[in-house]
Structure 1
Amino acid sequence: MRVLLVTFVMLAASLGWTGSAQAAPKVQTKTIAFGKLKPQRMDMYAAPSAKKKRPAILLIHGGYWWGGDKGHWKAIARDLAGRGYLVFATNYRLSQQAVWPAQSDDVGAAVTYLHKNAKKLGVNQRRIIAMGTSAGGQLASILAVRGTGSSRVRAVVALSPVNSPLEGYEAGGRDGADTYTRKLRQAVVKLLGCAPVFQDPDCWPLLTDATPEEHVTQGDAPALIIHSAKEFVGVEQSTTLRSEMRAAGVPVTLRRLPGALHGGEILKNKKNYTQVLKWIAKWAK
């Protein structure tokens, strides 16, 4: 219990919260296998509740698709669980283990697992929300526009999502590109297993498949998309996706924040975190 309270205090401090840590709920955790492969694992966070079914939040980590881990969500996952959600932080196959669409297949399989085991887990199948950062934000966006049936989510939050891998690839090759942008260019090549040069007959279909705006249809999941003005994954990554979703009648909010916070860093700002919580609560009702 002492470790939990310390974790809560650290999270509260990082988000600018005040108040007694004695209010921290007891959150239980366990790791679940949703597939046979080693990366196909997710951590479940749950606080005691009398409710038989609760909204679920699937957290998808970033890391250029070649790094990162579900453990990076630990503090946020505990806080969300303390607010009454069932929280699942998932891993997926990284690009050095398998190229696209393995990553999309894995997060889709995680959602399918939640649907098929909803009764056992206490999940409200109609209230599964995905939230991802950076590369994980792109995967959350893919869930929004491609999820159907047992892989469907109710809504998504995408923080600094790489929603246009082509833009990421091209930006990294421009004069003056910074280290992060050049690294993103390399990450796109590793993700696809090829360089997305114009109309490459082998690579272009993979690029199209990994681009959320290419899959928008009426009835897709609503999305909250957030970028910072000066970060390396700029708002231009998501403007076409917003246009396509609006044209299809899908609720979408695209926010451009001041500063250069990227991915999960956005949630360290109390105002930003509060806005995200309100969006989640709206679609979790």
Structure 2
Amino acid sequence: MTMELCYNPAAGERGLGDLYLPEHPEHAPVALTIHGGGWSAQDKSSFCGVSQFIASLGWAVFNINYRLTTIAPWPACGDDCLMAAKFLLDGEVPEFAGLDRCKLLICGGSAGGHLALMTGLRLPPNRVAGIISISGIDELTSDFALHSFRYEPFFGGEPTEEKQTEANPLQYLRPDSPPVLLTHWDNDQVVPVESARRFRDRGRALGCRVDYYEYSTEDEGHGIWIPDSKPHRLYPHLETELTRFIESVRPENPPCPTK
């Protein structure tokens, strides 16, 4: 079952999300999914295959649009994702009745992986079950070194060191940060694998749980999508890794208090 909800009326269609309910929604935990597209393209439809997959694991999934950098520069997209997370966690919405909104799982791909990390690491740790970044821009410095052209439109001006620091997920890691899963192709042609490795190393040095899945394949782009799948579905080995992590962070049952 799917229904469209508005979490940010001021953003128009970019403030909409699709709620996917699992087969048995009563006490189902909740997840937020965030599409990619270099912060400047695509919409929630491009990530609905991942959302449907997570829903098949028994989660209620809110798959969102957000303002692209062609509409407003950073931090607009980050602000939207935070707003959507708080809407899902604490919004007084009839469609959320019966769901376990104690903790939130957040999953994004590519630029959406960056936004998933920036969302989950800026929420109270006790409200986040886990964060998944699929081929994400997990650490800005290594990506900026190869793809600096992305960052002037992202920031809406000169990508200063201060601005990069403010938008770098690495800077928000703390010893009590929620569990994280990073997946990355070792020859990713869009986002360098070093971005994921640096986040992994920093997180583990702080004592955080950072699960890491790096793989080799023959593909193009991010190396994550089954060719010609509609909607886009992740390769089975990636879905297996996501399933393992998601089951390991599933909130306790019966559900804990919401606040």
Q: Identity of paired residues, percent?
A: 26
Judge conservation of contact 1:133–1:263 (CA < 8 Å) in 2. no
Displacement of 1:264 after TM fit?
Answer: 4.8
Query: Which residue identity lines up with residue 191 of structure 1 in the other structure?
Result: F
> Within 1, Cα distance between the matches of 2:125 and 2:206?
19
Change (3 A) 1:35 1:57: same
1:5-20 to structure 2, matched below 5 A, reads none
Displacement of 1:235 after TM fit?
Answer: 1.9
Judge conservation of contact 1:156–1:221 (CA < 8 Å) in 2. yes
- What is the TM-score with the length of structure 1 in the denominator? 0.77
Correspondence for 2:230: none
> Within 2, Cα distance between the matches of 1:195 and 1:263?
31
Structure possessing the higher radius of gyration over alpha carbons = 1
Query: Which residue identity lines up with residue 167 of structure 1 in the other structure?
Result: S
- Is residue 166 from structure 1 mapped to residue 132 from structure 2 by the alignment? no
- Is residue 156 from structure 1 mapped to residue 114 from structure 2 by the alignment? no
Which string of whole-angstrom CA distances, capped at 9 and with x for unpartnered residues, describes residues 43-94 of structure 1? 001134262x211121100000000110112233233323321011111110
Change (3 A) 1:95 1:50: closer
- Is residue 147 from structure 1 mapped to residue 123 from structure 2 by the alignment? yes
Change (3 A) 1:31 1:254: same
Correspondence for 1:133: 109
Higher mean alpha-carbon deviation, 119-128 vs 260-269, is at: 260-269
Q: Post-superposition, which runs of at least 4 consecutive aligned residues in structure 1 deviate over 3 A? A: none
Correspondence for 1:191: 154
> Within 2, Cα distance between the matches of 1:58 and 1:263?
23
Query: Which residue identity lines up with residue 34 of structure 1 in the other structure?
Result: Y
Displacement of 1:234 after TM fit?
Answer: 2.4
> Within 2, Cα distance between the matches of 1:32 and 1:133?
22
Judge conservation of contact 2:224–2:235 (CA < 8 Å) in 1. no
RMSD: 2.2
> Within 1, Cα distance between the matches of 2:133 and 2:249?
15
Q: Identify unmatched segments of 5+ residues in structure 2.
A: 227-232, 252-259
> Within 1, Cα distance between the matches of 2:108 and 2:197?
18
Correspondence for 1:249: 207
Change (3 A) 1:126 1:237: same
Change (3 A) 1:130 1:170: same
Which string of whole-angstrom CA distances, capped at 9 and with x for unpartnered residues, describes residues 182-232 of structure 1? xxx322221112343xxxxxx322211110111111211110001101112
Correspondence for 1:5: none
Q: Identify unmatched segments of 5+ residues in structure 1.
A: 1-27, 173-184, 197-202
Displacement of 1:119 after TM fit?
Answer: 7.5
> Within 2, Cα distance between the matches of 1:116 and 1:124?
11
Judge conservation of contact 1:100–1:206 (CA < 8 Å) in 2. no
1:1-285 to structure 2, matched below 5 A, reads 28-36=1-9, 37-38=11-12, 39-49=14-24, 51=26, 53-117=27-91, 120=94, 121=96, 122-148=98-124, 152-172=127-147, 185-196=148-159, 203-232=160-189, 233-259=191-217, 260=219, 262=222, 264-265=224-225, 268-285=234-251
- What is the TM-score with the length of structure 2 in the denominator? 0.84
Structure number with higher helix proportion: 1
> Within 1, Cα distance between the matches of 2:209 and 2:72?
33
Judge conservation of contact 2:188–2:223 (CA < 8 Å) in 1. no
> Within 2, Cα distance between the matches of 1:195 and 1:237?
21
